[in-house]
Structure 1
Protein backbone atom coordinates (compact mmCIF):
# COMPACT_ATOMS: atom_id res chain seq x y z
CA UNK A 1 0.00 0.00 0.00
CA UNK A 2 1.29 3.45 -0.89
CA UNK A 3 1.37 5.82 2.10
CA UNK A 4 2.40 9.43 1.77
CA UNK A 5 5.59 10.49 3.55
CA UNK A 6 7.67 13.66 3.70
CA UNK A 7 10.45 12.01 1.67
CA UNK A 8 10.69 14.98 -0.70
CA UNK A 9 11.74 17.20 2.21
CA UNK A 10 14.41 14.93 3.70
CA UNK A 11 18.05 16.03 3.48
CA UNK A 12 20.39 13.50 1.83
CA UNK A 13 23.99 13.67 3.06
CA UNK A 14 27.11 11.53 2.85
CA UNK A 15 28.71 9.77 5.83
CA UNK A 16 31.83 7.64 5.69
CA UNK A 17 33.41 4.80 7.63
CA UNK A 18 36.18 2.25 7.32
CA UNK A 19 35.85 -1.51 7.36
CA UNK A 20 36.22 -2.35 11.04
CA UNK A 21 38.57 -4.97 12.43
CA UNK A 22 37.06 -7.31 15.03
CA UNK A 23 38.46 -6.24 18.39
CA UNK A 24 38.91 -7.65 21.87
CA UNK A 25 39.32 -5.65 25.08
CA UNK A 26 42.89 -5.31 26.37
CA UNK A 27 41.81 -5.85 29.97
CA UNK A 28 41.26 -8.35 31.40
CA UNK A 29 44.16 -9.93 29.56
CA UNK A 30 42.41 -13.19 28.71
CA UNK A 31 40.22 -13.02 25.60
CA UNK A 32 37.48 -15.29 26.93
CA UNK A 33 33.87 -14.32 27.63
CA UNK A 34 31.28 -16.12 29.75
CA UNK A 35 28.12 -17.70 28.41
CA UNK A 36 24.76 -17.70 30.19
CA UNK A 37 25.83 -20.74 32.25
CA UNK A 38 29.16 -19.27 33.32
CA UNK A 39 31.29 -21.26 30.89
CA UNK A 40 34.18 -19.54 29.13
CA UNK A 41 34.05 -19.34 25.34
CA UNK A 42 36.15 -17.83 22.59
CA UNK A 43 34.27 -17.29 19.33
CA UNK A 44 34.47 -14.67 16.59
CA UNK A 45 32.64 -11.51 17.55
CA UNK A 46 31.16 -8.62 15.59
CA UNK A 47 33.10 -6.57 13.06
CA UNK A 48 35.26 -7.23 10.03
CA UNK A 49 34.32 -8.92 6.78
CA UNK A 50 32.15 -12.00 7.27
CA UNK A 51 32.30 -14.22 4.21
CA UNK A 52 29.73 -16.90 5.01
CA UNK A 53 26.89 -15.15 6.91
CA UNK A 54 24.41 -13.13 4.87
CA UNK A 55 21.09 -11.35 5.29
CA UNK A 56 18.42 -14.01 4.82
CA UNK A 57 20.39 -16.66 6.75
CA UNK A 58 19.28 -17.97 10.14
CA UNK A 59 19.84 -15.66 13.11
CA UNK A 60 20.69 -18.71 15.26
CA UNK A 61 23.16 -21.56 15.33
CA UNK A 62 26.40 -19.83 14.34
CA UNK A 63 29.56 -20.36 16.41
CA UNK A 64 29.88 -16.62 16.90
CA UNK A 65 28.90 -13.84 19.29
CA UNK A 66 26.45 -11.34 17.73
CA UNK A 67 27.92 -11.70 14.25
CA UNK A 68 27.23 -9.01 11.65
CA UNK A 69 26.45 -10.41 8.20
CA UNK A 70 28.75 -9.20 5.41
CA UNK A 71 30.71 -6.03 6.31
CA UNK A 72 30.90 -3.74 9.35
CA UNK A 73 32.16 -0.16 9.20
CA UNK A 74 33.07 2.50 11.74
CA UNK A 75 34.94 5.81 11.77
CA UNK A 76 38.13 6.03 13.85
CA UNK A 77 37.11 9.44 15.20
CA UNK A 78 34.49 8.85 17.94
CA UNK A 79 32.41 11.92 17.13
CA UNK A 80 32.40 11.22 13.41
CA UNK A 81 31.53 7.60 14.11
CA UNK A 82 28.53 8.83 16.09
CA UNK A 83 27.44 10.84 13.06
CA UNK A 84 27.89 7.81 10.81
CA UNK A 85 25.84 5.59 13.09
CA UNK A 86 23.00 8.02 13.68
CA UNK A 87 22.58 9.21 10.09
CA UNK A 88 23.05 5.93 8.18
CA UNK A 89 19.66 4.27 7.67
CA UNK A 90 18.63 0.73 6.80
CA UNK A 91 18.09 0.60 3.05
CA UNK A 92 20.64 3.35 2.23
CA UNK A 93 23.04 2.77 -0.63
CA UNK A 94 26.76 2.39 0.08
CA UNK A 95 29.77 2.86 -2.22
CA UNK A 96 33.30 1.53 -1.69
CA UNK A 97 35.68 4.43 -2.37
CA UNK A 98 39.09 2.83 -1.78
CA UNK A 99 40.87 -0.49 -2.20
CA UNK A 100 40.55 -3.36 -4.65
CA UNK A 101 36.75 -3.30 -4.54
CA UNK A 102 36.51 0.45 -5.24
CA UNK A 103 33.28 1.30 -7.07
CA UNK A 104 31.28 -1.65 -5.75
CA UNK A 105 27.89 -0.88 -4.24
CA UNK A 106 26.09 -2.27 -1.22
CA UNK A 107 23.13 -1.62 1.08
CA UNK A 108 22.93 -0.75 4.79
CA UNK A 109 21.12 -3.57 6.63
CA UNK A 110 21.59 -2.69 10.31
CA UNK A 111 23.46 -1.05 13.16
CA UNK A 112 25.01 -2.45 16.28
CA UNK A 113 26.62 -1.72 19.60
CA UNK A 114 25.53 -0.46 22.99
CA UNK A 115 26.92 2.96 22.14
CA UNK A 116 26.30 3.14 18.39
CA UNK A 117 29.46 1.33 17.39
CA UNK A 118 29.16 0.00 13.84
CA UNK A 119 27.05 0.12 10.69
CA UNK A 120 26.36 -3.16 8.87
CA UNK A 121 26.46 -3.19 5.06
CA UNK A 122 25.55 -5.98 2.65
CA UNK A 123 27.83 -6.74 -0.28
CA UNK A 124 27.66 -9.80 -2.50
CA UNK A 125 30.18 -12.60 -1.99
CA UNK A 126 32.47 -11.68 -4.87
CA UNK A 127 32.80 -8.11 -3.57
CA UNK A 128 33.49 -9.31 -0.02
CA UNK A 129 36.47 -11.29 -1.25
CA UNK A 130 38.01 -8.10 -2.64
CA UNK A 131 37.40 -5.87 0.38
CA UNK A 132 40.12 -5.31 2.99
CA UNK A 133 39.99 -4.02 6.55
CA UNK A 134 40.29 -0.19 6.57
CA UNK A 135 38.82 0.21 3.07
CA UNK A 136 36.63 3.31 3.08
CA UNK A 137 32.90 3.09 2.39
CA UNK A 138 30.61 6.05 1.70
CA UNK A 139 26.95 5.86 2.71
CA UNK A 140 24.34 8.01 1.01
CA UNK A 141 22.43 8.81 4.19
CA UNK A 142 18.72 9.44 3.72
CA UNK A 143 15.94 8.86 6.22
CA UNK A 144 16.57 10.88 9.38
CA UNK A 145 13.50 13.11 9.75
CA UNK A 146 11.15 10.72 7.94
CA UNK A 147 7.50 10.92 8.95
CA UNK A 148 4.02 9.91 7.80
CA UNK A 149 1.76 12.98 8.10
CA UNK A 150 -1.34 10.78 8.53
CA UNK A 151 0.27 9.11 11.59
CA UNK A 152 2.23 11.89 13.32
CA UNK A 153 2.78 9.96 16.57
CA UNK A 154 4.80 7.28 14.82
CA UNK A 155 8.53 8.02 15.19
CA UNK A 156 10.86 6.74 12.48
CA UNK A 157 14.41 5.63 13.27
CA UNK A 158 17.18 4.65 10.89
CA UNK A 159 14.83 3.81 8.00
CA UNK A 160 15.27 4.90 4.39
CA UNK A 161 12.13 6.19 2.62
CA UNK A 162 12.75 3.71 -0.19
CA UNK A 163 12.66 0.75 2.16
CA UNK A 164 9.60 2.09 3.97
CA UNK A 165 7.77 2.36 0.65
CA UNK A 166 8.57 -1.29 -0.10
CA UNK A 167 7.52 -2.75 3.27
CA UNK A 168 4.04 -4.33 3.66
CA UNK A 169 1.80 -1.88 5.47
CA UNK A 170 -1.62 -0.27 5.69
CA UNK A 171 -3.46 2.34 7.75
CA UNK A 172 -6.47 1.18 9.78
CA UNK A 173 -8.43 3.65 11.93
CA UNK A 174 -5.47 6.07 11.95
CA UNK A 175 -3.10 3.28 13.09
CA UNK A 176 -0.06 2.49 10.93
CA UNK A 177 -0.09 -1.31 10.61
CA UNK A 178 3.14 -3.00 9.51
CA UNK A 179 3.48 -6.54 8.16
CA UNK A 180 5.89 -8.58 10.31
CA UNK A 181 7.30 -12.10 10.53
CA UNK A 182 6.97 -12.34 14.30
CA UNK A 183 6.21 -10.43 17.48
CA UNK A 184 8.70 -10.11 20.35
CA UNK A 185 7.05 -9.93 23.81
CA UNK A 186 8.53 -7.42 26.29
CA UNK A 187 9.97 -10.06 28.62
CA UNK A 188 12.33 -11.14 25.82
CA UNK A 189 13.79 -7.65 25.25
CA UNK A 190 17.43 -7.75 26.35
CA UNK A 191 20.63 -5.77 25.89
CA UNK A 192 20.12 -2.21 24.67
CA UNK A 193 17.17 -1.41 26.94
CA UNK A 194 17.69 2.00 28.53
CA UNK A 195 20.06 3.18 25.82
CA UNK A 196 19.49 5.57 22.92
CA UNK A 197 17.30 4.48 20.04
CA UNK A 198 19.05 6.66 17.45
CA UNK A 199 21.78 4.11 16.84
CA UNK A 200 23.04 0.74 17.99
CA UNK A 201 20.88 -2.31 18.52
CA UNK A 202 18.25 -3.82 20.80
CA UNK A 203 18.65 -7.54 21.47
CA UNK A 204 16.25 -10.41 22.00
CA UNK A 205 16.80 -12.61 25.06
CA UNK A 206 17.54 -16.09 23.74
CA UNK A 207 18.82 -18.13 26.69
CA UNK A 208 15.40 -19.78 27.18
CA UNK A 209 15.21 -21.77 23.94
CA UNK A 210 11.96 -23.44 24.94
CA UNK A 211 10.29 -20.03 25.22
CA UNK A 212 11.62 -19.02 21.81
CA UNK A 213 10.24 -22.22 20.28
CA UNK A 214 6.87 -21.77 21.98
CA UNK A 215 6.56 -18.28 20.50
CA UNK A 216 7.84 -19.34 17.07
CA UNK A 217 10.92 -17.13 17.33
CA UNK A 218 13.53 -19.86 16.90
CA UNK A 219 13.22 -19.62 13.11
CA UNK A 220 14.06 -15.91 12.83
CA UNK A 221 16.36 -14.94 9.98
CA UNK A 222 18.73 -12.04 9.52
CA UNK A 223 16.72 -9.32 7.80
CA UNK A 224 13.34 -10.36 9.23
CA UNK A 225 10.94 -7.53 10.10
CA UNK A 226 9.49 -7.97 13.61
CA UNK A 227 7.20 -6.16 16.03
CA UNK A 228 8.33 -5.45 19.61
CA UNK A 229 5.45 -5.27 22.10
CA UNK A 230 5.20 -2.75 24.96
CA UNK A 231 8.49 -1.14 24.00
CA UNK A 232 8.86 2.62 23.61
CA UNK A 233 11.89 3.61 21.54
CA UNK A 234 11.12 7.27 20.85
CA UNK A 235 14.26 8.44 22.68
CA UNK A 236 15.57 5.47 24.68
CA UNK A 237 14.46 1.83 24.59
CA UNK A 238 12.18 1.08 27.53
CA UNK A 239 9.10 -0.82 28.69
CA UNK A 240 5.76 0.98 28.26
CA UNK A 241 2.42 -0.80 28.12
CA UNK A 242 0.67 -0.14 24.81
CA UNK A 243 3.80 1.05 23.03
CA UNK A 244 5.23 -0.78 20.05
CA UNK A 245 8.41 -0.88 18.01
CA UNK A 246 9.20 -2.32 14.59
CA UNK A 247 12.67 -3.77 14.18
CA UNK A 248 14.81 -5.52 11.60
CA UNK A 249 17.02 -8.43 12.68
CA UNK A 250 20.57 -7.27 11.97
CA UNK A 251 22.86 -9.59 13.98
CA UNK A 252 23.01 -13.24 14.98
CA UNK A 253 22.54 -14.41 18.54
CA UNK A 254 25.38 -15.31 20.89
CA UNK A 255 25.94 -17.40 24.02
CA UNK A 256 25.89 -14.50 26.52
CA UNK A 257 22.74 -13.86 28.54
CA UNK A 258 20.75 -10.97 27.08
CA UNK A 259 22.54 -11.03 23.73
CA UNK A 260 20.27 -12.92 21.37
CA UNK A 261 19.65 -11.62 17.84
CA UNK A 262 20.14 -7.87 17.57
CA UNK A 263 17.42 -5.65 16.09
CA UNK A 264 17.71 -2.24 14.48
CA UNK A 265 14.56 -0.40 15.59
CA UNK A 266 13.09 1.53 12.65
CA UNK A 267 9.68 2.69 13.98
CA UNK A 268 8.05 3.25 17.35
CA UNK A 269 4.95 4.80 18.91
CA UNK A 270 3.90 5.14 22.55
CA UNK A 271 0.20 4.39 22.76
CA UNK A 272 -1.38 2.27 20.06
CA UNK A 273 -0.59 4.48 17.06
CA UNK A 274 1.57 1.71 15.57
CA UNK A 275 0.43 -1.86 15.05
CA UNK A 276 1.41 -5.08 13.30
CA UNK A 277 -0.16 -7.90 11.35
CA UNK A 278 1.16 -11.29 10.27
CA UNK A 279 3.09 -11.21 7.01
CA UNK A 280 5.21 -14.38 7.01
CA UNK A 281 8.47 -14.15 5.14
CA UNK A 282 8.82 -10.36 5.33
CA UNK A 283 12.59 -10.03 5.03
CA UNK A 284 14.69 -7.21 3.60
CA UNK A 285 16.87 -9.68 1.67
CA UNK A 286 13.86 -10.37 -0.54
CA UNK A 287 12.44 -6.85 -0.48
CA UNK A 288 15.77 -5.25 -1.49
CA UNK A 289 16.89 -8.09 -3.77
CA UNK A 290 20.11 -8.78 -1.86
CA UNK A 291 22.30 -11.54 -3.29
CA UNK A 292 24.36 -13.92 -1.17
Structure 2
Protein backbone atom coordinates (compact mmCIF):
# COMPACT_ATOMS: atom_id res chain seq x y z
CA UNK A 1 0.00 0.00 0.00
CA UNK A 2 1.36 3.42 -1.01
CA UNK A 3 0.12 5.85 1.60
CA UNK A 4 0.95 8.94 -0.49
CA UNK A 5 -1.33 8.06 -3.42
CA UNK A 6 -4.84 9.46 -3.00
CA UNK A 7 -7.88 7.28 -3.71
CA UNK A 8 -10.97 9.26 -4.74
CA UNK A 9 -14.39 8.40 -6.14
CA UNK A 10 -15.37 9.23 -9.71
CA UNK A 11 -18.45 8.02 -11.51
CA UNK A 12 -20.08 7.56 -14.87
CA UNK A 13 -23.06 5.87 -16.41
CA UNK A 14 -23.14 2.94 -18.81
CA UNK A 15 -22.91 4.78 -22.09
CA UNK A 16 -25.20 4.32 -25.06
CA UNK A 17 -23.40 4.05 -28.42
CA UNK A 18 -23.87 7.38 -30.22
CA UNK A 19 -23.65 8.71 -33.77
CA UNK A 20 -23.12 12.28 -34.86
CA UNK A 21 -25.65 13.72 -37.29
CA UNK A 22 -22.84 14.94 -39.55
CA UNK A 23 -20.76 14.24 -41.50
CA UNK A 24 -22.33 11.35 -43.41
CA UNK A 25 -23.32 9.30 -40.39
CA UNK A 26 -24.26 6.54 -39.84
CA UNK A 27 -21.79 5.39 -42.51
CA UNK A 28 -18.02 5.57 -42.12
CA UNK A 29 -15.27 4.86 -44.65
CA UNK A 30 -12.78 2.01 -44.68
CA UNK A 31 -9.13 2.66 -45.48
CA UNK A 32 -9.99 1.79 -49.10
CA UNK A 33 -12.88 4.25 -49.31
CA UNK A 34 -15.77 1.82 -48.93
CA UNK A 35 -18.68 2.86 -46.69
CA UNK A 36 -19.52 0.56 -43.78
CA UNK A 37 -22.04 0.43 -40.98
CA UNK A 38 -20.82 -1.63 -38.02
CA UNK A 39 -21.22 -1.38 -34.25
CA UNK A 40 -18.76 1.09 -32.78
CA UNK A 41 -17.51 1.95 -29.30
CA UNK A 42 -19.81 2.40 -26.33
CA UNK A 43 -22.62 0.45 -24.73
CA UNK A 44 -22.74 -2.84 -22.87
CA UNK A 45 -20.94 -5.38 -25.06
CA UNK A 46 -22.04 -8.90 -24.22
CA UNK A 47 -19.66 -11.04 -26.25
CA UNK A 48 -16.29 -9.21 -26.30
CA UNK A 49 -14.08 -9.35 -23.21
CA UNK A 50 -10.53 -8.67 -22.09
CA UNK A 51 -8.45 -11.67 -23.15
CA UNK A 52 -10.28 -12.03 -26.49
CA UNK A 53 -8.59 -11.27 -29.81
CA UNK A 54 -8.16 -7.61 -30.70
CA UNK A 55 -8.87 -8.51 -34.35
CA UNK A 56 -11.60 -10.14 -36.41
CA UNK A 57 -14.70 -8.50 -34.98
CA UNK A 58 -17.33 -6.93 -37.21
CA UNK A 59 -16.99 -3.70 -35.32
CA UNK A 60 -15.09 -0.42 -35.25
CA UNK A 61 -12.87 0.09 -32.18
CA UNK A 62 -15.13 -1.98 -29.92
CA UNK A 63 -14.71 -1.61 -26.17
CA UNK A 64 -14.89 -4.94 -24.32
CA UNK A 65 -17.57 -5.24 -21.64
CA UNK A 66 -18.93 -1.85 -20.47
CA UNK A 67 -18.15 1.74 -21.46
CA UNK A 68 -18.96 4.51 -19.00
CA UNK A 69 -19.12 8.28 -19.26
CA UNK A 70 -20.46 11.18 -17.20
CA UNK A 71 -23.14 13.31 -18.92
CA UNK A 72 -21.45 16.52 -17.75
CA UNK A 73 -18.44 17.20 -19.96
CA UNK A 74 -16.19 18.59 -17.23
CA UNK A 75 -17.03 15.78 -14.83
CA UNK A 76 -16.47 13.25 -17.60
CA UNK A 77 -13.00 14.70 -18.06
CA UNK A 78 -12.37 14.14 -14.35
CA UNK A 79 -13.57 10.56 -14.67
CA UNK A 80 -11.31 9.89 -17.63
CA UNK A 81 -8.19 11.47 -16.15
CA UNK A 82 -8.44 10.05 -12.63
CA UNK A 83 -9.69 6.53 -13.40
CA UNK A 84 -6.73 4.17 -13.86
CA UNK A 85 -6.37 0.73 -15.38
CA UNK A 86 -6.74 -1.76 -12.55
CA UNK A 87 -9.06 0.40 -10.41
CA UNK A 88 -12.06 -1.29 -8.84
CA UNK A 89 -15.54 -0.23 -9.93
CA UNK A 90 -18.96 -0.86 -8.39
CA UNK A 91 -22.40 -0.79 -10.00
CA UNK A 92 -24.39 1.68 -7.88
CA UNK A 93 -27.87 1.46 -9.46
CA UNK A 94 -30.12 -0.92 -11.35
CA UNK A 95 -30.56 -4.69 -11.29
CA UNK A 96 -26.80 -5.33 -10.99
CA UNK A 97 -26.30 -2.96 -8.06
CA UNK A 98 -23.35 -4.01 -5.90
CA UNK A 99 -21.55 -5.95 -8.64
CA UNK A 100 -17.80 -5.39 -8.83
CA UNK A 101 -15.73 -4.64 -11.92
CA UNK A 102 -12.27 -3.44 -12.95
CA UNK A 103 -11.17 -0.55 -15.18
CA UNK A 104 -9.33 -1.95 -18.23
CA UNK A 105 -8.84 1.08 -20.49
CA UNK A 106 -9.74 4.55 -21.69
CA UNK A 107 -10.82 5.70 -25.12
CA UNK A 108 -11.91 8.49 -27.33
CA UNK A 109 -10.15 11.21 -29.26
CA UNK A 110 -11.11 13.70 -26.57
CA UNK A 111 -11.09 11.31 -23.60
CA UNK A 112 -14.68 10.22 -24.06
CA UNK A 113 -15.13 6.97 -22.16
CA UNK A 114 -13.67 4.67 -19.53
CA UNK A 115 -13.82 0.91 -20.17
CA UNK A 116 -14.79 -1.38 -17.29
CA UNK A 117 -14.77 -5.18 -17.18
CA UNK A 118 -17.74 -6.93 -15.59
CA UNK A 119 -18.45 -10.63 -15.74
CA UNK A 120 -21.08 -12.04 -18.09
CA UNK A 121 -23.82 -12.36 -15.47
CA UNK A 122 -23.41 -8.74 -14.42
CA UNK A 123 -23.52 -7.52 -18.02
CA UNK A 124 -26.81 -9.35 -18.59
CA UNK A 125 -28.34 -7.53 -15.61
CA UNK A 126 -27.04 -4.08 -16.47
CA UNK A 127 -28.79 -1.40 -18.50
CA UNK A 128 -27.65 1.74 -20.23
CA UNK A 129 -27.48 4.64 -17.72
CA UNK A 130 -26.73 2.42 -14.73
CA UNK A 131 -24.39 4.32 -12.41
CA UNK A 132 -20.87 2.97 -11.87
CA UNK A 133 -18.56 4.35 -9.17
CA UNK A 134 -14.80 3.95 -9.61
CA UNK A 135 -12.32 4.00 -6.74
CA UNK A 136 -9.77 6.07 -8.66
CA UNK A 137 -6.23 5.51 -7.47
CA UNK A 138 -2.96 5.90 -9.34
CA UNK A 139 -2.68 9.50 -10.51
CA UNK A 140 0.43 10.89 -8.82
CA UNK A 141 2.15 7.53 -8.57
CA UNK A 142 5.92 7.97 -8.97
CA UNK A 143 9.01 5.77 -8.86
CA UNK A 144 11.75 7.31 -6.66
CA UNK A 145 14.36 4.90 -8.07
CA UNK A 146 13.36 5.80 -11.65
CA UNK A 147 12.42 9.50 -11.56
CA UNK A 148 12.49 9.89 -15.36
CA UNK A 149 9.79 7.26 -15.83
CA UNK A 150 6.37 8.92 -15.84
CA UNK A 151 3.55 6.72 -14.54
CA UNK A 152 0.13 7.25 -16.11
CA UNK A 153 -3.31 5.76 -15.69
CA UNK A 154 -2.25 2.61 -13.83
CA UNK A 155 -3.39 1.42 -10.41
CA UNK A 156 -0.56 0.71 -7.96
CA UNK A 157 -1.63 -2.93 -7.61
CA UNK A 158 -1.46 -3.48 -11.37
CA UNK A 159 1.95 -1.83 -11.57
CA UNK A 160 3.17 -4.18 -8.85
CA UNK A 161 1.81 -7.18 -10.77
CA UNK A 162 3.55 -6.37 -14.07
CA UNK A 163 6.60 -8.49 -14.93
CA UNK A 164 9.58 -6.20 -14.60
CA UNK A 165 13.31 -6.08 -14.02
CA UNK A 166 16.08 -3.50 -13.77
CA UNK A 167 19.19 -3.79 -15.93
CA UNK A 168 21.94 -1.14 -15.87
CA UNK A 169 19.54 1.24 -14.18
CA UNK A 170 16.86 0.81 -16.86
CA UNK A 171 13.39 -0.29 -15.77
CA UNK A 172 12.23 -2.99 -18.18
CA UNK A 173 8.63 -4.20 -18.46
CA UNK A 174 7.55 -7.58 -19.81
CA UNK A 175 5.52 -7.09 -23.01
CA UNK A 176 3.82 -9.22 -25.64
CA UNK A 177 5.17 -7.18 -28.58
CA UNK A 178 6.61 -3.81 -29.56
CA UNK A 179 4.80 -1.31 -31.79
CA UNK A 180 7.31 0.48 -34.06
CA UNK A 181 6.87 4.25 -34.34
CA UNK A 182 5.73 4.21 -37.98
CA UNK A 183 2.72 2.14 -36.91
CA UNK A 184 1.44 4.67 -34.36
CA UNK A 185 -1.87 6.09 -35.58
CA UNK A 186 -4.82 8.03 -34.17
CA UNK A 187 -4.15 9.82 -30.90
CA UNK A 188 -0.68 11.12 -31.78
CA UNK A 189 -0.44 14.76 -30.73
CA UNK A 190 -3.25 14.51 -28.20
CA UNK A 191 -3.05 14.42 -24.41
CA UNK A 192 -1.67 11.33 -22.73
CA UNK A 193 -3.70 11.78 -19.54
CA UNK A 194 -6.82 10.25 -21.02
CA UNK A 195 -8.11 8.69 -24.21
CA UNK A 196 -6.17 6.19 -26.29
CA UNK A 197 -3.33 5.85 -28.76
CA UNK A 198 -4.04 3.58 -31.73
CA UNK A 199 -1.75 1.51 -33.88
CA UNK A 200 -1.95 1.41 -37.68
CA UNK A 201 -3.22 -1.94 -38.90
CA UNK A 202 -4.24 -1.58 -42.54
CA UNK A 203 -0.90 -3.10 -43.66
CA UNK A 204 -1.47 -6.64 -42.43
CA UNK A 205 1.92 -7.91 -43.60
CA UNK A 206 3.68 -5.22 -41.57
CA UNK A 207 1.48 -6.05 -38.60
CA UNK A 208 2.51 -9.71 -38.78
CA UNK A 209 6.17 -8.79 -39.28
CA UNK A 210 6.21 -7.19 -35.83
CA UNK A 211 4.17 -9.89 -34.11
CA UNK A 212 1.17 -7.61 -33.65
CA UNK A 213 -1.38 -9.59 -35.66
CA UNK A 214 -2.27 -11.92 -32.77
CA UNK A 215 -2.70 -9.30 -30.03
CA UNK A 216 -5.43 -9.81 -27.47
CA UNK A 217 -7.42 -7.24 -25.57
CA UNK A 218 -5.52 -6.64 -22.34
CA UNK A 219 -2.06 -7.40 -23.77
CA UNK A 220 0.79 -5.23 -22.51
CA UNK A 221 2.86 -3.75 -25.34
CA UNK A 222 5.82 -1.42 -25.78
CA UNK A 223 5.58 1.56 -28.13
CA UNK A 224 9.01 2.45 -29.49
CA UNK A 225 10.30 6.03 -29.97
CA UNK A 226 7.11 7.44 -28.45
CA UNK A 227 7.13 10.09 -25.73
CA UNK A 228 3.83 10.29 -23.86
CA UNK A 229 4.81 12.44 -20.89
CA UNK A 230 2.37 15.20 -21.89
CA UNK A 231 1.13 14.52 -25.41
CA UNK A 232 1.76 11.44 -27.54
CA UNK A 233 4.53 12.13 -30.04
CA UNK A 234 7.58 10.76 -31.81
CA UNK A 235 10.91 11.08 -29.99
CA UNK A 236 13.87 8.91 -30.93
CA UNK A 237 14.98 6.82 -27.96
CA UNK A 238 11.79 7.33 -25.96
CA UNK A 239 9.49 4.46 -25.03
CA UNK A 240 5.95 4.08 -23.77
CA UNK A 241 4.14 1.05 -22.34
CA UNK A 242 0.50 0.55 -23.25
CA UNK A 243 -2.35 -1.86 -22.61
CA UNK A 244 -4.53 -2.91 -25.54
CA UNK A 245 -8.02 -1.70 -24.67
CA UNK A 246 -10.04 -1.64 -27.91
CA UNK A 247 -10.40 -3.79 -30.99
CA UNK A 248 -9.25 -3.18 -34.52
CA UNK A 249 -11.43 -1.36 -37.06
CA UNK A 250 -11.57 -0.86 -40.84
CA UNK A 251 -10.67 2.85 -40.82
CA UNK A 252 -7.14 4.01 -41.60
CA UNK A 253 -5.19 4.77 -38.43
CA UNK A 254 -7.64 3.02 -36.12
CA UNK A 255 -6.12 -0.34 -35.32
CA UNK A 256 -6.29 -1.63 -31.76
CA UNK A 257 -6.32 1.22 -29.22
CA UNK A 258 -3.86 1.34 -26.33
CA UNK A 259 -4.01 3.06 -22.94
CA UNK A 260 -0.52 4.34 -22.15
CA UNK A 261 0.49 3.56 -18.56
CA UNK A 262 4.13 4.66 -18.43
CA UNK A 263 6.67 6.52 -20.54
CA UNK A 264 10.20 7.88 -20.51
CA UNK A 265 12.04 10.14 -22.98
CA UNK A 266 15.59 8.87 -23.33
CA UNK A 267 16.25 5.21 -22.69
CA UNK A 268 15.23 5.10 -19.02
CA UNK A 269 12.40 2.67 -19.83
CA UNK A 270 12.77 -0.60 -21.71
CA UNK A 271 10.96 -3.85 -22.46
CA UNK A 272 11.56 -7.57 -22.69
CA UNK A 273 9.54 -10.30 -24.35
CA UNK A 274 6.95 -11.86 -22.04
CA UNK A 275 4.29 -13.29 -24.38
CA UNK A 276 1.64 -14.06 -21.77
CA UNK A 277 1.52 -10.59 -20.20
CA UNK A 278 -2.19 -9.77 -20.22
CA UNK A 279 -4.21 -7.96 -17.58
CA UNK A 280 -6.93 -10.63 -17.69
CA UNK A 281 -4.39 -12.88 -15.97
CA UNK A 282 -2.64 -10.24 -13.88
CA UNK A 283 -5.94 -8.94 -12.46
CA UNK A 284 -7.66 -12.34 -12.37
CA UNK A 285 -10.61 -11.12 -14.43
CA UNK A 286 -13.44 -13.63 -14.65
CA UNK A 287 -15.79 -14.13 -17.59
Q: 1:86 aligns with which of 81, 89, 94?
A: 81
Contact 2:238 2:265 in 1 (8 A): yes
What is the alpha-carbon root mean square deviation over aligned residues? 0.8
Match of 2:235 in 1: 240
Match of 1:151 in 2: 146
Match of 2:48 in 1: 53
Match of 1:95 in 2: 90
Contact 2:19 2:25 in 1 (8 A): no
Q: What is the CA distance between 1:26 and its match in structure 2?
A: 1.1
Q: What pairs with 1:142-181 in structure 2 (closer than 5 Å)?
A: 142-181=137-176
- Relative to structure 1, is the Cα distance of residues 208 and 109 closer, same or farther in structure 2, using a 3 angstrom cutoff? same
Q: What is the CA distance between 1:173 and its match in structure 2?
A: 1.6
Q: What is the CA distance between 1:29 and its match in structure 2?
A: 5.3
CA distance in 1 between partners of 2:25 and 2:80 (Å): 30
Q: What pairs with 1:111-150 in structure 2 (closer than 5 Å)?
A: 111-150=106-145
Aligned residues: 287
CA distance in 2 between partners of 1:47 and 1:282 (Å): 26
CA distance in 2 between partners of 1:56 and 1:106 (Å): 15
Give secondary structure in 2 for the equivalent of 1:213. Answer: helix
Which 4+ residue blocks in structure 1 deviate beyond 6 angstroms?
none
Question: TM-score under structure 2 normalisation?
Answer: 0.99
**Residues 1:284 and 2:279 are matched in the alignment:** yes
CA distance in 2 between partners of 1:28 and 1:250 (Å): 26
Note the residue ranges of structure 1 that are not aligned, 5 or more in a row: 1-5
Q: 1:263 aligns with which of 238, 258, 261?
A: 258
Match of 2:182 in 1: 187
Query: Which whole-Å deviations, capped at 9, do the CAs of 1:122-156 have from their partners, x for residues lacking one?
Result: 00000000000000000000000011100000001
Match of 1:75 in 2: 70
Q: What is the CA distance between 1:214 and its match in structure 2?
A: 1.3
